[in-house]
Chains A and B, each alone.
Chain A
């Protein structure tokens, strides 16, 4: 059997990933492949398990069962330095940006560079942080401010700069446009597309904002009650032929999706 060329191997492969909190099955056998350079967006309502899926991939939660392979290596069960080595190739933009309050903006951006041993030189780290800030459209004066002095949109930009500072192979975006006005949301979407393209990185995003999903996705997957019920090209999401997907993407109250998931939200805490 001849081995397949490397670029046909998925960058990220999930097989039968399951996660339960108490009696509630949050992820119920997720199978997913994300190819190198691809941007895949997982959509779904609140409590559908999107954040838990992301946390399992990032190693913040341990799945009860299943396999998560990143760059050909199994990552489920990795701890300590082995996990850090995997994470060194990943970037993450958190929903609320999750900037460190106690550090100025440039140190937030350079954090991964210094901690991940990409550089030990603070001057060099600062220089690279400034370049990343420029890349996301922030002026140099911002570098010495603390996160609480920034607007929500600026915090998202700094979060994006931090996520790309180490030039990761895979970038994850957790609800990147939540809480932003439509114009700022579009700016962030453009930045996400531009920066991931510039890095040549693979992107996995989770969102319930369809404008964002269609803008940044090559493929879209829909998560409903812990299962992926539809995966397809982004262009086809509005003609999927799946009643659940149709209801979600058109934002209709009537349809097969009830607000049952809202009554029993998925817990992502530990």
Chain B
């Protein structure tokens, strides 16, 4: 009985410690995002890394998602003669949900892992300590540029991804499902509301922030050499992916709950 109580106590203390450490990390990181001096050169480098180099992955993901969505919805809607709604379903699904979520998950795998590995290696090789001894705040130098880049680049990526995804649906719709190109485009635009796109972009910004935050947090606190860096990388991707799915629900609820 005592052992069980001790175990519960230890788990609870670890939980409280982790929450406290994470809250402090987030608070410090955000405060360094908005306080000068910032490092424009590093921010631009991260923006290129997150935005430009993730374009092929996000583009391919949304392209094929748009194509599959058109096929599947056509098959489903044909059962009650509603094939005409395919274009609308494709564009709304992509802008509201699939664009931001799929892009977020893909970027979490690509960028979150890279951030955790890079910062984790810097931690275990004492490069972060070296930054401090060289009068440079690691939060300002390493964390803030990544958070700013994540926050700003994901919405842009998702916007491009949405367009590519709609194009994927258009391709299938016009070449395989027999839609007239003009009608398909008209149907795409007709029922699309500005809030569909805006909610997707807000989600993307939140996901970008979370991906960068998880990558930086786990990398910053990694220890124990190569194994520790490996664990940090895994934790960064897993925690970012789960948080993306949770945040997706929360933001959807905030935007669209009746």
**Interface membership of A8, Cβ < 8 A:** no
**Interface membership of B183, Cβ < 8 A:** no
The answer to whether A98 touches B129 (Cβ under 8 A) is yes
List of 7 A-B pairs having minimum Cβ-Cβ separation, nearest first: A98-B126, A98-B130, A84-B135, A112-B134, A92-B133, A116-B135, A115-B136
**Interface membership of A227, Cβ < 8 A:** no
Contacts of A99 in B (CB 8 A): 127, 130
Give A contacts to B, CB under 8 Å: 55, 58-60, 80, 83-85, 87-88, 90-92, 94-96, 98-101, 111-112, 115-116, 162, 269-270
Minimum CB–CB distance from A154 to chain B (whole Å) comes to 16
**Interface membership of B223, Cβ < 8 A:** yes
Please give 5 more A-B residue pairs, beta carbons under 8 A apart, in addition to A84-B135, A98-B125, A98-B130. A60-B129, A87-B135, A95-B126, A101-B122, A112-B135
Contacts of A162 in B (CB 8 A): 134
21 pairs from A and B in contact (CB 8 Å cutoff): A58-B129, A60-B132, A80-B137, A87-B134, A92-B130, A95-B126, A96-B125, A98-B126, A98-B129, A99-B127, A100-B122, A100-B127, A100-B130, A101-B121, A101-B122, A111-B134, A112-B134, A112-B135, A115-B134, A116-B135, A269-B223
Shortest Cβ distance from B224 into A: residue:
A269
The answer to whether A84 touches B137 (Cβ under 8 A) is yes
- Which residue of the partner chain, among A84, A94, A101, A116, contacts B126 with CB atoms under 8 Å? A94
The answer to whether A55 touches B135 (Cβ under 8 A) is no
Q: What's the interface size class on B, roughly?
A: 10 to 19
- Which residue of the partner chain, among B127, B133, B221, contacts A58 with CB atoms under 8 Å? B133
Minimum CB–CB distance from A240 to chain B (whole Å) comes to 32
- Which residue of the partner chain, among A60, A101, A115, A270, contacts B135 with CB atoms under 8 Å? A115
Give Cα A117–Cα B133 distance, bound, in whole angstroms: 14
Give Cα A91–Cα B125 distance, bound, in whole angstroms: 17
Minimum CB–CB distance from A213 to chain B (whole Å) comes to 21
Give Cα A87–Cα B137 distance, bound, in whole angstroms: 11
The answer to whether B137 touches A55 (Cβ under 8 A) is no
- Which residue of the partner chain, among A80, A84, A88, A94, contacts B130 with CB atoms under 8 Å? A94
Give Cα A88–Cα B134 distance, bound, in whole angstroms: 7
Within 8 A of A (CB), among B128-167: 129-130, 132-137
Minimum CB–CB distance from B117 to chain A (whole Å) comes to 12
The answer to whether B126 touches A96 (Cβ under 8 A) is yes
Within 8 A of A (CB), among B201-225: 221, 223
Contacts of A87 in B (CB 8 A): 132-135
Contacts of A91 in B (CB 8 A): 133
Give Cα A112–Cα B135 distance, bound, in whole angstroms: 7
Give Cα A90–Cα B134 distance, bound, in whole angstroms: 8
Shortest Cβ distance from B228 into A: residue:
A269
Contacts of A115 in B (CB 8 A): 134-136
Most chain A beta carbons < 10 A, residue from B125, B127, B132, B134: B134
Give Cα A84–Cα B131 distance, bound, in whole angstroms: 10
Most chain A beta carbons < 10 A, residue from B122, B126, B127, B221: B126
Minimum CB–CB distance from B127 to chain A (whole Å) comes to 5
Shortest Cβ distance from B42 into A: residue:
A102
Contact code string B99-128 (vs A, CB < 8 Å = 1, else 0): 000000000000000000000011001110
Minimum CB–CB distance from A205 to chain B (whole Å) comes to 15
Minimum CB–CB distance from B200 to chain A (whole Å) comes to 33
Shortest Cβ distance from B223 into A: residue:
A269
Contacts of A94 in B (CB 8 A): 126, 129-130
Contact code string B214-250 (vs A, CB < 8 Å = 1, else 0): 0000000101000000000000000000000000000
Most chain B beta carbons < 10 A, residue from A55, A83, A100: A100
Within 8 A of A (CB), among B81-95: none
Give Cα A58–Cα B127 distance, bound, in whole angstroms: 14
Contacts of B133 in A (CB 8 A): 58, 60, 87, 90-92
Contacts of A95 in B (CB 8 A): 126
